[in-house]
């Protein structure tokens, strides 16, 4: 087997996704799929949820330790790896450090309710073992929209989880889905998302335009006339309202899908006026 084939052999899929902020770190698959797998818009939890055995993780770590020996940070793959028991996560962290002695920090995907299921003591143990950041799908601050999309958490859960991570000094990055309320609820989505995010301390906010994927519950809702999708221009307009109402500090804001072709990014609150003006100009210039 070539080096490339050996590396590919430790992942279940040919293409391995991780958040843009984690590019460059070593990726260790600890689970497949999502333990919730019920969000109506979601297309990326296709794998049946499965947690890998310690034996399989150790086999993969042997290869990773050899081929990515220089890395000091490991990202645990699995749509919400934090749902694993604290005991198992700590054991995987300890084993990772044995095979990759330079590793000092870890990050992974999580859901807000995974955070809530951990006690303060468990989060403190994970932080002490090197858990630095969690990447979480926030999607919307509107309880109505979260319920409509069957997200499984409401804004009070999100805020409780945020307080918990802040107490434990675990950083968090969130994603927001522009257009998630459709045309009917766009103002509610923008204002409520900004209202809830403004009570949090995310290290980063990554905005993405909603895409209605084939064979999702959301696609059925569209076909039944229960959801009226917005155009990319309307989603950018929604983003302007959200950003205008947003008050966060030391937060890297990024929208990689503006009008499906532009990227808007910068540190908040410093670049907020420039971003708002840039979006205003784009809206004017590319008015359909």
Smallest distance, ligand SF4 to C-beta of residue 77, A = 12
Which residues are CB-contacts of 180 (< 8 A; sequence separation ≥ 6)? Answer: 41, 139, 140, 145, 149, 189, 210
Nearer to ligand SF4, 34 or 230 (CB): 34
Q: Would you count residue 111 as binding ligand SF4 (CB under 6 A)?
A: yes
d(CA 114, CA 215): 27
Number of residues that bind ligand SF4 (CB under 6 A): 11
Smallest distance, ligand SF4 to C-beta of residue 134, A = 13
Smallest distance, ligand SF4 to C-beta of residue 38, A = 6
Smallest distance, ligand SF4 to C-beta of residue 207, A = 15
Residue that has been written with the tokens 């403004």 in this structure? 198
Alpha carbons within 13 angstroms on the beta-carbon side of residue 241 total 16
Nearer to ligand SF4, 36 or 173 (CB): 36
Give the x-and-dash track for 134-173 against ligand SF4 (CB under 6 A). Answer: ---x------------------------------------
Q: Would you count residue 79 as binding ligand SF4 (CB under 6 A)?
A: yes
Q: Which two tokens mark 245?
A: 């109402």
Return the axis-axis angle of helices 272-285 and 232-245, rounded to nearest 10°: 160
Give the one residue of 25, 26, 42, 108 binding ligand SF4; rule: CB under 6 A. Answer: 42
Continuous segment of H or E residues that includes residue 239: helix 232-245
Q: Would you count residue 177 as binding ligand SF4 (CB under 6 A)?
A: no
d(CA 199, CA 138): 13
Nearer to ligand SF4, 47 or 59 (CB): 47
Question: C-alpha angle with apex 123: 117 to 126, nearest 5 degrees?
Answer: 125
* Positions 43 through 62 that interact with ligand SF4 (CB under 6 A): 44-45
Residue that has been written with the tokens 């991570």 in this structure? 165
Nearer to ligand SF4, 90 or 146 (CB): 146
The span of 35-43, 65-73, 117-125, 195-203 binding ligand SF4 (CB under 6 A) equals: 35-43
The span of 24-32, 36-44, 231-239, 257-265 binding ligand SF4 (CB under 6 A) equals: 36-44
d(CA 76, CA 100): 14
Smallest distance, ligand SF4 to C-beta of residue 40, A = 9
Gap between the terminal Cα atoms of the chain: 53
67 and 49 in contact (C-beta within 8 Å)?
no
Give the one residue of 16, 18, 37, 188 binding ligand SF4; rule: CB under 6 A. Answer: 37
Return the axis-axis angle of helices 186-197 and 232-245, rounded to nearest 10°: 40
- Summarize as ranges the residues that interact with ligand SF4 (CB under 6 A): 34, 36-39, 42, 44-45, 79, 111, 137
């Amino acid at each position: 087997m070539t080096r490339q084939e050996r590396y590919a052999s430790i992942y279940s899929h040919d293409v391995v996704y991780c958040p843009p902020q984690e590019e460059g770190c070593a990726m260790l698959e600890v689970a497949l799929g999502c333990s919730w797998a019920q969000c109506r818009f979601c297309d990326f939890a296709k794998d049946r949820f499965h947690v890998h055995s310690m034996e399989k993780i150790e086999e993969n770590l042997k290869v990773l330790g050899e081929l990515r020996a220089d890395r000091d940070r490991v990202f645990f793959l699995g749509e919400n790896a934090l749902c694993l028991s604290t005991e198992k996560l700590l054991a995987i962290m300890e084993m990772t450090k044995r095979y990759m002695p330079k590793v000092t920090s870890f990050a992974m995907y999580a859901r807000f309710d995974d955070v809530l299921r951990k006690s303060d003591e468990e989060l403190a143990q994970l932080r002490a073992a090197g858990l630095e950041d969690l990447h979480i799908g926030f999607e919307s601050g509107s309880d109505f929209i979260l319920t409509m999309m069957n997200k499984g958490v409401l804004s009070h859960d999100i805020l409780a989880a945020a307080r918990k991570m802040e107490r434990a000094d675990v950083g968090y990055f969130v994603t927001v889905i522009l257009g998630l309320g459709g045309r009917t609820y766009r103002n509610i989505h923008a204002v409520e998302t900004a209202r809830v995010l403004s009570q949090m301390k995310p290290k980063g906010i990554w905005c993405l335009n909603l895409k209605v994927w084939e064979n999702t519950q959301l696609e059925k809702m569209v076909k039944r006339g229960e959801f009226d999708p917005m155009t990319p221009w309307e989603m950018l307009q929604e983003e302007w309202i959200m950003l205008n109402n947003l008050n966060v500090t030391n937060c890297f804001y990024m929208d990689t899908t503006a009008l499906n072709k532009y990227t808007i990014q910068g540190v908040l609150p410093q670049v907020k006026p420039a971003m708002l003006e840039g979006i205003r100009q784009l809206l004017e210039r590319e008015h359909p």
